[in-house]
C-alpha cells in the first residue's frame, strides 16, 4: 500500500442556497479543490450523497457531476452511507490511491436539502433509521438522540447545562468560520430557552438543514512532495465500522460501538493513541452526539463527555479542541457532504490556514463521521509532514 496525501481541498458556499443547484455547488467545491491541488487531471472520482433522489429528485450523480465538472470520461461513483456518506467516499478514494489503482482521485460530498419543505426533509433523513421498527412508529432522529441523552444523563449525571455548553462552544468556533451557515455565538441561557424539540433536546441542540458541497484531492505521497508548495498532509489512519441500525438493538444506548471500533482501527494503523491527537472534527448532529463520540474515541473518559465543553477542555486553547470549524451545529450539516468538509477543516488546520480559529502547533487531526444514530462510522487521522 502506498502512502497517500491530501493535496487540495475546497468548499462551496453553505446555507440555504435557493438560487443554486446541486450540480453547481458541487462544481464550485470540486473546482476549488483541483485549483488548490495544482493538478491538471483527475483519474477517478467518488461523491458522497445521502439522498439526492429524495431531496432534489436526482439520482445517477456519477454521470451528472463528472459531466458538469468537465471530466465525463473518468470512472466516477456515488457513495451512500446516510450521514457518513462523505466519510465513506473519502475512505474509498484513499483505498484507490493507496492500492495503486489510480494516482489522482477527487473525493467530494454534496447535499441540497432545502429544495423540499420541512416534512420532506424529515422524511428523507428518516430513511437513515430503521423504517419498520423505528420510523413506522413515529420516531425521528431528535427523538432517538433524546433517548440517548436521557440515558446518559441518568447514568452519568450529565446535565442539561452541559449539553448547552457543547452548542455554545461550537457556535463560538463557528463565529470565526466565514463558511459557517450560522456564524454567531449563543449562550447557555439561550440554548435552554430555545424551542423544545424532543425532551431534553431543544432547537439549539440540533444541527440545521443545509445546502453545501466539499471536495478533496488525493494522490500518492511521493507525487504530493513534487507537486505541492504547501505543507504536506498525509492520511495515516483509516477506520470503518457498522452497528445495528435500530437503537433498541444495542446493548448500551450511550455507547457508539461502531465509532469505538473504527477509532481503534484508525489508531492502530496510524500507530498513535488518543493522547497524540491535536484536535478533532466529530459528528455533532446533536449536542449529545458530540458527548458520546468523544467518549467513544477515547478523547475523554467514559461518562466524562458532559464536562468536556463546560470545562473548556474541548474549546480552542483547551487540551483537545473539538469542532474548530463550528461543527455540524454551527457550520451546517449537508448530510452527504459533512465527512468531506471535516477533511477540509483538518487539512487547513494542519497547513496553518485557519486564521482566528487556528489550533496552535497542530500536528495530527482526527475526523469522525457517522450515519443515523451511529449505525455506520468512519474515522480518519491526518498528520502534517
Give pLDDT tens digits for 180-220.
999 999 999 999 999 999 999 999 999 999 999 999 999 99
Dist CA 64 CA 71 (whole Å): 10
The per-residue pLDDT for 310 is 97
The per-residue pLDDT for 303 is 97
Task: Please state the φ and ψ torsions of residue 132, each to the nearest 5 degrees.
Answer: -80, -35
The per-residue pLDDT for 110 is 98
Structural domain containing residue 216:
4-117+209-227
List the grid coordinates of 10.
475546497
Domain edge (last residue) among 166, 196, 227: 227
Half-sphere exposure for 70 (CA within 13 Å, toward CB): 8
Q: What average pLDDT does the segment 361-366 reach?
A: 97
- Clarify whether residues 82 and 61 are in a common domain: yes
- Clarify whether residues 316 and 247 are in a common domain: yes
Task: Say how many domains are in the chain.
Answer: 2
Domain edge (last residue) among 198, 227, 256: 227
Asked if residue 105 is part of any domain, the answer here is: yes
Question: Mind giving me the DSSP string for 78-137?
Answer: EE-BTBTHHHHHHHHHHHHHHHTS-S-EEEEEEEE-TTS-HHHHHHHHHTTS-TTTTGGG
Nearest C-alpha neighbor of 341 from the set 85, 103, 79, 65? 85
Q: Assign residue 17 the CATH number of its domain.
A: 3.40.47.10
- Clarify whether residues 10 and 146 are in a common domain: no
Model confidence at 278, pLDDT cuts 50, 70, 90, reads very high
Dist CA 214 CA 346 (whole Å): 13
Burial of 281 (0-12, 13-18, 19+ CB in 10 A): buried
The per-residue pLDDT for 216 is 98
Dist CA 241 CA 236 (whole Å): 17
Q: What is the dihedral of CA 174, 143, 342, 46, to 10 degrees?
A: -140
Asked if residue 232 is part of any domain, the answer here is: no
The per-residue pLDDT for 315 is 98
- Clarify whether residues 175 and 51 are in a common domain: no
The per-residue pLDDT for 275 is 97
Dist CA 296 CA 378 (whole Å): 12
Asked if residue 20 is part of any domain, the answer here is: yes
The rounded mean pLDDT for the chain is 97
The per-residue pLDDT for 96 is 98
Nearest C-alpha neighbor of 44 from the set 5, 89, 11? 89
Q: For the chain, give the percent of residues with pLDDT over 70.
A: 100
- Clarify whether residues 100 and 182 are in a common domain: no
pTM: 0.98
Instruction: Tell me the catalytic residues.
Output: 83, 333
- Clarify whether residues 342 and 375 are in a common domain: yes
pLDDT digits (tens, 9 = 90+) for 12-66: 999 999 999 999 999 999 999 999 999 999 999 999 999 999 999 999 999 999 9
Q: What average pLDDT does the segment 92-102 reach?
A: 98
Contact assessment for residue 247 and residue 373, using Cβ atoms and an 8 Å cutoff = yes
Domain edge (last residue) among 200, 227, 254: 227
- Clarify whether residues 143 and 157 are in a common domain: yes
Dist CA 151 CA 145 (whole Å): 10
Dist CA 59 CA 47 (whole Å): 12
- Clarify whether residues 166 and 156 are in a common domain: yes
pLDDT digits (tens, 9 = 90+) for 160-175: 999 999 999 999 999 9
Asked if residue 330 is part of any domain, the answer here is: yes
Question: CA separation (Å) from 199 to 110, 192, 222, 247?
Answer: 31, 11, 52, 17
List the grid coordinates of 130.
430503521
Question: CA separation (Å) from 9 to 37, 163, 366?
Answer: 7, 32, 16
The per-residue pLDDT for 369 is 98
The per-residue pLDDT for 348 is 98
Instruction: Locate the DSSP E strands across 130-206.
Output: 196-198, 201-202
State the DSSP H helix or E strand holding residue 11, giving kind and residue range, or none if neither. Answer: strand 4-11
pLDDT digits (tens, 9 = 90+) for 237-270: 999 999 999 999 999 999 999 999 999 999 999 9
The per-residue pLDDT for 311 is 97
Amino acid at each position: 500500500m502506498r502512502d497517500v496525501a491530501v493535496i487540495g481541498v475546497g468548499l462551496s458556499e453553505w446555507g440555504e442556497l435557493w438560487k443554486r443547484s446541486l450540480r453547481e455547488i458541487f462544481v464550485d467545491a470540486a473546482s476549488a479543490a483541483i485549483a488548490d491541488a495544482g493538478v491538471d487531471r483527475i483519474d477517478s472520482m467518488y461523491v458522497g450523497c445521502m439522498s439526492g433522489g429524495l431531496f432534489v429528485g436526482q439520482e445517477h450523480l456519477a454521470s451528472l457531476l463528472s459531466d458538469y465538472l468537465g471530466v465525463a470520461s473518468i470512472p466516477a461513483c456515488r457513495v451512500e452511507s446516510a450521514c457518513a456518506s462523505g466519510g465513506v467516499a473519502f475512505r474509498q478514494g484513499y483505498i484507490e490511491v493507496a492500492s495503486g489503482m489510480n494516482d489522482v482521485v477527487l473525493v467530494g460530498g454534496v447535499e441540497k436539502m432545502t429544495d423540499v419543505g420541512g416534512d420532506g426533509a424529515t422524511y428523507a433523513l428518516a430513511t437513515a433509521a430503521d423504517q419498520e421498527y423505528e420510523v413506522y412508529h413515529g420516531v425521528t432522529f431528535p427523538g432517538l438522540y433524546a433517548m440517548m441523552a436521557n440515558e446518559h444523563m441518568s447514568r452519568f449525571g450529565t446535565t442539561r447545562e452541559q449539553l448547552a455548553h457543547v452548542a455554545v462552544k461550537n457556535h463560538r468556533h463557528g463565529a470565526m468560520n466565514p463558511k459557517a451557515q450560522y456564524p454567531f455565538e449563543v449562550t447557555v441561557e439561550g440554548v435552554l430557552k430555545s424551542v423544545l424539540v424532543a425532551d431534553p433536546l431543544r432547537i439549539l441542540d440540533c444541527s440545521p438543514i443545509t445546502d453545501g458541497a466539499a471536495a478533496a484531492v488525493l494522490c500518492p505521497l511521493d507525487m504530493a512532495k513534487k507537486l505541492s508548495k504547501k505543507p504536506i498532509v498525509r492520511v495515516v489512519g483509516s477506520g470503518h465500522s457498522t452497528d445495528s441500525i435500530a437503537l433498541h438493538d444495542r446493548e448500551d444506548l450511550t455507547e457508539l460501538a461502531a465509532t469505538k471500533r473504527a477509532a481503534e482501527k484508525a489508531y492502530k494503523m496510524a500507530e498513535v493513541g488518543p493522547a497524540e491527537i491535536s484536535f478533532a472534527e466529530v459528528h455533532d448532529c446533536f449536542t449529545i452526539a458530540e458527548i458520546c463520540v468523544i467518549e467513544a474515541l477515547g478523547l475523554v473518559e467514559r461518562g466524562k463527555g458532559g464536562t468536556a465543553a463546560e470545562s473548556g477542555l474541548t474549546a480552542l486553547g483547551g487540551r483537545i479542541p473539538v469542532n474548530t470549524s463550528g461543527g455540524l451545529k454551527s457550520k451546517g450539516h449537508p448530510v452527504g457532504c459533512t465527512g468531506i468538509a471535516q477533511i477540509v477543516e483538518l487539512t487547513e488546520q494542519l497547513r496553518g490556514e485557519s486564521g482566528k480559529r487556528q489550533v496552535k502547533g497542530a500536528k495530527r487531526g482526527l475526523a469522525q463521521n457517522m450515519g443515523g444514530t451511529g449505525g455506520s462510522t468512519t474515522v480518519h487521522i491526518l498528520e502534517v509532514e
